Structure 1
Amino acid sequence: MSDTTPAALALTEPKIVTDAVVSKLQGCEGVSEAAVIEIEGRIHAFITPDTVDVQLIEKQLASELDEKLRPASYNALSQMPYTLRGRIDEGALETWLKGIKSTQSTEHLLAPPRVHIKEVRSGSTASSSSLSSIYSGHGVQDRASWDDYLESQLPNKVQPKPVRNLRYIGLIIYRRIFSVIFIANMIPFLLLLIKGTDCPTLATACSINLLIAICIRQDNVVNALFRIAGWVPRSWPLWIRKNAAKVYHLGGIHSGCAASATFWFGFLVVQASFDAFRTSPLDSTRKTISAATLGVAYVIMLLFTMMLSFAYPSVRRRIHNQFEQVHRFSGWTVLILFWILNFMLITDYTAPNASITRATLKTPGFWCLIIITISIASPWMHLRKVTVIPEKLSNHAIRLHFNYRQNPVPGSFVRLSDTPLMEWHSFATIAVPDRSGFSVVVSRAGDWTSKYINSPPTRMWIRGVPTRGVMNVAHFFNSAVIVGTGSGIGPCLPVLLAAKNNGIKVRVLWSTPKPQETFGDEIVNGVLAADPKAIIWDTRAHGKPDMVKLVWGLVQESKAEAVVIISNPALTKKVVYGMETRGVPAYGAIWDS
């Protein structure tokens, strides 16, 4: 039998010793995880959770371990730090233990989270210090309060089921806007159908609707509408601000006018079909509408029908890339053909001796087409290929850094592509205060994203200007609960980083698999810097929680005025419905394009 002393063993075979101590610690009552590090011949123990009775554990190990193998300190943590490879980060534990201030890079967003520590040997009952990493599956807040949220009963919804389903599902603001616009168009449509009209009048009605439908989607117009809505002071009553925050439903204007334009053009095609057989009242030698004009009208009608069919919500969701391509190429073709049709109609309806130029300048459709063309072309005037600095966060996510412009407004997005004519993808901008440029987080969600995670790009196409989206409405409130799942934390992060400067009190709920391993320290630390008590729920470790209950618990605890969520369609609708039917304003993407 070896006569090696425990002290010598600690120096010659530290791994065996520390493993033995870890094994003893894990056998103690209430210990979830344990780690041991050896510094200058002394062993230091770390255990989770921080509710464990460390005095009892110390007493138990005193009877089971030789005196020289007993830990010099017992440190209870709310969570164990992990490296990106999923191993306990001993460097982070040692850094804290030595009392060395975190040497976190200045390139990181914010300071790391705070962790509660109990130092037994020193006699201190509780102290706080910074660790350089976040702890998978938990925030800093006591887990017991989360359990209270999940175990509590949600209050009853405030309206009968038929009423609330009609209001919050069937007739959301988007659909109400669509309905108002469509009905407003159908009233004169039916009157003209009964009374009778001509093709130039119908072309004008169609052009006006197309003008509104296209301009309402223009980047600068969208930003202007968000700015106007954001002018409502936060001191004003909540009912005013919560309705102003519905500004992101402006897509209802786009779809309402586009659908109406298609109906008006259908009317024009029918009218032109009859006029093609009638003698022109201006020239008895020809028909009211020429065969060429009628042929162009039928081609435009076919393209309109294709665009409207592909834009139907269920079709759009199923084949979104094809929807975008049909919308883009058919739209450009329609624009060109509409210019041709406009001049053809002017020619058909102008007397032989009259001035075509004067007739053109008096035609409303001509001026509408000029504005429409400028609106469609303007984002492409900002098309550029820019340098990208990739930062691979994990096998499931990558962060792309851009430095070609100043910080975008929190809650805005940009469009990126590698094939500008074929497909574009929108990503929320992450702007860091006092740092130029921005970044986006790309999470694995299909072939396009997988390609760039596997082979990070160094150059990409970008179009238009950063455009405000649903996350921007968080600025309309004094306090808000921000909810994100997976890479949905990307759109939330710039709002969280700017919340303090903007005077917004935020609580955060982020549900995602392996947050630190997938997205890295910087993003997770940014979340906790905005809300030190953020709930960061590791779905890989704990499964998927009842998000409605967790959100409701945070709303009640923080007295938040609103909830903003960035998640998948199903969960977004569930949370928004669950909050709004209980009287809490809630906002989430509506996938209207």
Structure 2
Amino acid sequence: MEQSTTPPVKAGIQIMSPAHTRNTSTASSDTAYTTDTAYTADTVYTTDEEKRLHHGLQGSVSSIDKGKRESYSSVSSDLEAQNAEIDDYAQKRFGFIRYTALNVYRRLFSIAFIGNAIAFIILMVKGTAPLDLVNAAAVNLAVCGLCRHPLVVNSLFLTFGAVPRSAPMRLRRLACKIFHLGGVHSGAGVASCVWYIGFAGLYTYHFTPSPVSIAVLALIYFVLALLLAIIAVAHPAFRAKHHDYFELTHRFSNWAILALFWILIFLLGAQELAGLSSFLIHLPAFWILILLTAATIHPWLLLRRVPVKAEPLSPHAVRLHFSHATVRFGQGISVARHPLGDWHSFASFTDQFDAEETKFSCLVSKAGDWTRQAIAQPPTVLWKRGVPTYGFGYVFRMFERIIVVTTGSGIGPCLSFIEDPRRPNMRVVWQTKSPLKTYGQRTLDLVKRMDEEPVVIDTSVSGRVDMLPVVLKLYKEFGADAVCVISNPKMTKSLVYSLETRGIAAYGPIFDS
């Protein structure tokens, strides 16, 4: 074969083409897409389809790195038809109900809420004292709040993430669902409001006018209004459109409820004949309130203004480097420009491989006002609070082999895998627009640390590709245990649902809690 004057595609680049030989091994990371053939202008194609597919793929590879032609896989939109044959998985019976209406998040919500609802109805029918309803409301508020405390979250992830790879697959698949604990948070939160409404109704029914009781009644309904406001803005439809209002309403309403609850129980105690001290000591809600107050204050005691080294990547992305702490695999941080403003959480990854002067980084791309400002006017300092918190990706260390699927800046959370010595063997599928231009060569080099031959789909060349056929083929040939999906809410839910209904262990971040 004559040497072409056009630079050939470098050997080792994965080209998904129907004419290439399939590797039947499922144990090797060198999957069916590899080829050692360097195509030239004189190459003879067996079919028009192969010629069209190859030229489309070669253009995609060039767009990733025109100079070096690094060995990153690229995919054409023709892959959708090519890989359709791989979708031979049987659909699970009742899959739609199990993985939508009754997904793990909603099941946890239902258990938390329905269990409380049954107890509430029984107590109201049998008759109960108003303070019993206060105690029940306080217990649920404690569960709701602690489900979001960094120390509790870290403890849960460390516990469930410690399930060994030798454990039965069913147990590992279940333990991996720990990130759905937001269902408990939401269910207990709504249940606390139901208990509190019962308390407000009973107190109003037995109301006897006096200066103290009038003040108590006013506080009761003020707190109720705040509880209802928190629940209203937490609805996914509102939260998605007005996230800043959701966050500010949640934070300041929680603070106000704590303060008003303290006043409320002291006023209630002032009406007791046994005296205030005896009343408080024997009231469970008093001790729960102490716990909730401490849990609320704790993260703010760790509030710090920390330096940031911004590395602009493109008009669409920036990498923020930090040195104030050491962050472990799977952890993320919350940062803000102003401590009382809106806080944003980002997954982190180590800097030890390409920026040793700092400790860890966060990848930020355009997704809202805050991120746009961070790109246009990179910060030199930011506020941080609390401690780094484990997140969605940590539990994947219990699997031997996984497929990581992501789009755009979702590659940032995925990069945390590079620092884990116990990380599973993995293949990476990354669909994004102009990866080299948008995220830079250093980011692509870090991706190669996770997978030497990642499948990088450049949408500026191929257009958006249906990810499902690509993932199914890679899953089968790699012999993966699970699929990790990190993308926008719509794609994450769609792809995870499509995989789960085919019996594949698939997981994506929860956006509703």
Question: Does TM-score exceed 0.5, indicating one fold?
Answer: yes
Separation in 1, partners of 2:78, 2:233: 47
Residue in 1 that maps onto 2:332? 413
Q: Which residue of 1 aligns with 2:266?
A: 343
Q: What SS class does the counterpart of residue 512 from structure 2 fall into?
A: coil
Q: Distance in 1 between matches of 2:59 and 2:461?
A: 17
Match among 203, 218, 225 for residue 272 of structure 1? 203
One-letter identity of the residue aligned with 2:203: A
- Say whether the 8 Å CA contact 1:134–1:525 is kept in structure 2: no
Aligned to 1:321: 244
Paired position in structure 2 for 1:388: 308
Shift of the alpha carbon at 1:261?
0.3
Which residue of 563, 572, 588 corresponds with 2:483?
563
1:134, 1:521 within 8 Å by CA — same for their partners in 2? Answer: no
> Deviation per CA, 1:27-67, whole angstroms, max 9, x where unpaired?
xxx9899xxxxxxxxxxxxxxx974544948xxxxxxxxxx
Aligned partner of 1:112 in structure 2 is: none
Q: Deviations over 1:133-174 (max 9, x none)?
A: 747xxx2489899678634241254324xx111100011111
Alpha carbons of 1:145 and 1:505: their partners in 2 closer, same or farther (altered >3 Å)? farther
* AA of the residue aligned to 1:182: F
1:429 Cα offset (Å): 0.6
Partner secondary structure for residue 290 of structure 1: helix
The residue correspondences of 1:238-387 to structure 2 (distance < 5 A) are: 238-277=169-208, 290-348=213-271, 350-351=272-273, 354-387=274-307
The alpha-carbon deviation at position 79 of structure 1 amounts to: 3.8
**Matched letter for residue 137 of structure 2:** C
> Is residue 149–residue 553 contact of structure 1 (8 Å, CA) maintained in 2?
no
Question: Is 1:226–2:149 an aligned residue pair?
Answer: no
1:534 aligns with 2:441: no
Bigger CA radius of gyration = 1
Partner of 1:152 in structure 2? 85
Deviation at 1:535, TM superposition (A): 0.2
Q: Contact 1:483/1:564 (CA < 8 Å) preserved in 2?
A: yes
Q: Deviations over 1:233-283 (max 9, x none)?
A: 1101111001000000011111011000000000011011012138xxxxx
User: Are positions 1:397 and 2:317 aligned together?
Assistant: yes
**Is 1:454–2:376 an aligned residue pair?**
yes
Secondary structure at 1:511 match in 2: strand
User: Residues 81, 290 of structure 1: CA spacing in aligned structure 2 closer, same or farther, 3 A cutoff?
Assistant: closer
Query: What is the deviation of 1:225?
Result: 0.1
Q: What amino acid is the match of 1:301?
A: L
* Alpha-carbon contact 1:141-1:533 (below 8 Å) kept: no
Label 1:148 to 1:82 Cα distance change in 2 as closer, same or farther (>3 A): closer
* Residues 150 and 546, structure 1, Cα contact 8 Å, conserved in 2: no
CA deviation map 1:383-414 (0-9, x unaligned): 111000010011110000000111x2222211
> How far does residue 363 in structure 1 lie from its aligned partner after superposition?
1.0
Q: Does 1:474 align with 2:396?
A: yes
For residues 84-137 of structure 1, the C-alpha deviation after alignment (integer angstroms, 9 at most, x for no partner) is xxxx43xxxxxxxxxxxxxxxxxxxxxxxxxxxxxxxxxxxxxxxxx5x747xx
Structure 2 residue 492 is the aligned partner of structure 1 residue 492: no
Of residues 128, 134, 137, the one that matches 1:206 is 137
Note if contact 1:81-1:134 (Cα within 8 Å) is conserved in structure 2.
no
Partner of 1:399, secondary structure, is strand
Asked if the contact 2:307–2:322 (Cα under 8 Å) also holds between the matched residues in 1, the reply is yes
Q: What stretches of structure 2 of length at least 5 have no aligned partner?
A: 11-34, 44-57
The letter of the residue matching 1:461 is: W
User: Tell me, what secondary structure is at the counterpart of 1:520?
Assistant: helix
**Counterpart code for 2:334:** R
Distance 2:79 2:352 in 1: 31
Cα distance in 2 for residues equivalent to 1:527 and 1:301: 49
User: Aligned AA for 1:252?
Assistant: G
Q: Supply the distance in 1 between the matched residues of 2:41 and 2:469 (Cα, whole angstroms).
A: 36
Q: Structure 1: how far apart are the matches of 2:279 and 2:39? A: 90
Partner of 1:45: none
Tell me the distance in 2 between the aligned counterparts of 1:590 and 1:425. Answer: 16
Taking the aligned partners of 1:364 and 1:78, their CA distance within structure 2 comes to 64
The secondary structure found in structure 1 opposite 2:305 is strand
Q: How does 1:165-204 map to 2 (within 5 A)?
A: 165-204=96-135
In 1: Cα distance, 2:213 partner to 2:182 partner: 37
AA aligned opposite 1:166:
I
Match of 1:576 among 471, 493, 496: 496
Question: Within 2, Cα distance between the matches of 1:237 and 1:277?
Answer: 61
Residue equivalent to 2:148: 217
Within 1, Cα distance between the matches of 2:233 and 2:64? Answer: 47
Q: Report the secondary structure of 1:456's partner residue.
A: coil
Other structure's SS at 1:506 match: strand
Counterpart AA for 2:217: L
Asked whether the equivalents of residues 299 and 387 of structure 2 are also in contact (C-alpha less than 8 Å), the reply is yes
Closer, same or farther: CA 503–567 of 1 in aligned 2, 3 Å? closer
2:348 is aligned to 429
Structure 2 counterpart of 1:498, one-letter code: E
Shift in alpha-carbon separation, 1:295–1:512, aligned structure 2, 3 A: same
Q: Give yes or no for the alignment of 1:506 onto 2:437.
A: no
Q: Distance in 2 between matches of 1:358 and 1:340?
A: 17
Q: Does 1:519 align with 2:439?
A: yes
Corresponding pairs, count: 470
d(CA) in 2 for partners of 1:219, 1:492: 21
Larger RCO: 1 or 2 (CA < 8 Å, sep 6+): 2
Q: 1:20 is matched with which residue?
A: none
Preserved CA contact (<8 Å) 1:399 1:442:
yes
SS of structure 2 residue aligned to 1:473: helix
Query: Does structure 1 conserve the Cα–Cα contact (< 8 Å) formed by 2:335 and 2:385?
Result: yes
Please give the per-residue CA displacement for 1:158-196, whole angstroms capped at 9, x wherever unaligned.
324xx1111000111111011011111111200111122
Aligned to 1:44: none
> Aligned partners of 1:53, 1:439: CA distance in 2, in Å?
39
Distance 1:147 1:191 in 2: 56
Q: Secondary structure at the match of 1:532?
A: coil
Using the size of structure 1 for normalisation, the TM-score is: 0.75
Q: How far is 1:78 from its partner?
A: 9.4
C-alpha separation between the residues in 2 aligned to 1:147 and 1:546? Answer: 6
Give the Cα–Cα distance (whole angstroms) in 2 for the partners of residues 77 and 191 of structure 1: 68
The CA distance in 2 between the partners of 1:342 and 1:552, in whole Å, is: 58
Name the aligned partner's letter for residue 402 of structure 2.
A
Q: Verify the 8 A CA contact 1:134 1:516 in the aligned structure 2.
A: no
Cα root mean square deviation, aligned? 2.7
Q: Could you report, residue by residue, the CA deviation over 1:455-504 in whole angstroms, capped at 9, with x for unpaired residues?
A: 11100111111111111121121111011100000000111x135x2151
C-alpha distance in 2 between matches for 1:529 and 1:331: 43
CA 1:493 to 1:514, structure 2 compared with 1: closer, same or farther past 3 Å? Answer: same
Cα distance in 1 between the residues matched to 2:331 and 2:224: 35
